[in-house]
Amino acid sequence: MKVRRTWPARYGLFILAALWMLVILPLSAAAAPYAAMVMDARTGEVLHSRNADTRLHPASLTKMMTLYIAFEAVERGEISLDTKVRISRFAAAEPPSKLGLKAGQRIAFRYLIRAAAVKSANDAATAIGEALEGSEAAFARRMNRTAKALGMSRTTFKNAHGLTERGHMSTARDMTIMGRHMLYDYPEYYNLFSRKSTHAGVRNVANTNRRLLSAYRGADGIKTGYTRAAGFNLVASAERGQERIIATVFGGTSTSARNARVAELLDMGFKRAPSRARLKKPGLPVYRSKPTRPNTILASSLRPALRPRAVIAQPLLVTRTDEAIAAALSGETAPVAPAPAAAAASTAGLLNTDTTTALLAAQAAQALDETESAPANKPEGTFVSARPVLRPGSATTAATAGQQEATAVISPEPEVVTRLSTSGGHQWGVNVGQYTSRYNAERALVTTALAEMATLDGTLRKVVKRPTGFDANFLGMTQESADLACRRLAARNISCQTVGPS
């Protein structure tokens, strides 16, 4: 009779268990420190904190910011929920958790939001960032601006999904602040986080937080997160009666352990919070405005004349904003200040006007100069040289000075240069319609540029005459920027189509 040998198998199991306890668990604990915070959502009062200001890996808690900006963009008209977003190869290649989107696929923006909020899909989060800002890096910069405006002072974002990346860090306090803003700033979207499942366009997806939603009374959100470096993270919110508590945990050792700890913290919050408290909603983010340039239009280049030419450089001319706009639509050049003193006074008066409007008007004037064959009316008055008068000297010097004065008087009509080079990949553009007259096409370009400055600023506006009418085009763009501009224009119900290199 043969005896079965079971000792080798038992020894193997013993060795694996020992490795797990002695090596893997200590490493996991070292990589995922614990932090927590409990807050009364109604008032913002902190009821409990531990290591709340320690910078740690947030994992998919990051997607709260991605979704916050998505909601903000929809409300501001940057994009609509029904806008079809084209999935890039970069977004499609994101690792799980993911929706399984394919490169080149088009999907409605609302489904990307659902997938990121409920499924915690990384490909959907990246696609949201690219749809709004054109690239992951540009979207990360917007995330950081928003975080700063919300008071998340110890948070730095590097991506839209939260996968571990050097420098991508946050704190339990900052993520609690983020959850509170999500709750009160966009309450119409908050119900997404309480859905145990939802349809995300291509399939139904289950909520990564469904266990806590089912097990804890009053729980209705918000967001889970896990990576090896972060551990099991969760920002949760629950409401009972008139009380609402937010609890945050970083560094849980497992889903069940994290959920149990969050339940304990929520219980603690409900015990410590007053039964009644006056609601003090957090303020909406206040973004720092970008530095504004002086509200003047440069009518000539500031580059000095090449030596040894004796011709004086073109003077600096200042035109009024409203006159420049009128000139843009009439084809005439705006009047110019007749003397330096008058120009200075005009400049001072312009400082309170709209910089962007002035720039757009100058661009329109340049476009009309290029497309109209008839010469424009020259401005009245005399151009005064900005160069100091030469000292008395030889007859040659006097003659040269006379030539310079004559040159200043007969200087050619000033130009405003607003071209963007079409080299280096800037060979794409967008068309915003065909019109029956050049005037209407120019007017459409000015109106569209004012409506979408973020992506059209710096482009070349050009009217192209066709047998069937006049095309209104913005040129000098990359393919990505042209696609982004069209998506944003479509969200404003402005017809648009991209124009590729011919």
The four Cα atoms 263, 196, 102, 230 give a dihedral, to 10 degrees, of 0
Neighbours of 439 (CB within 10 A): 15
Which residue blocks in 38-186 are alpha helix, DSSP H? 63-75, 89-92, 109-114, 122-133, 136-150, 172-185
Cβ atoms of 62 and 225 closer than 8 Å: yes
| DSSP for 277-311, written as a single string | ----PPPPP-PPPPPPPPS----S--SPPPTT--S
| DSSP for 7-68, written as a single string | HHHHHHHHHHHHHIIIIIHHHHHHHS--EEEEEETTTTEEEEEESTTS-B--GGGGHHHHHH
Which residues, 6 or more positions from 463, have their beta carbon under 8 angstroms from its beta carbon?
Answer: 367, 371, 438, 441, 442, 445, 470, 471, 472, 473
Which positions are catalytic? 60, 63, 120
Q: Is the peptide bond before 97 cis (omega within 30 degrees of 0)?
A: yes
Radius of gyration of the chain (CA): 31
Rounded CA separation 395/493 (Å): 68
The four Cα atoms 340, 346, 349, 355 give a dihedral, to 10 degrees, of -110
Find, among 428, 407, 411, 422, the residue nearest to 483 by Cα: 428
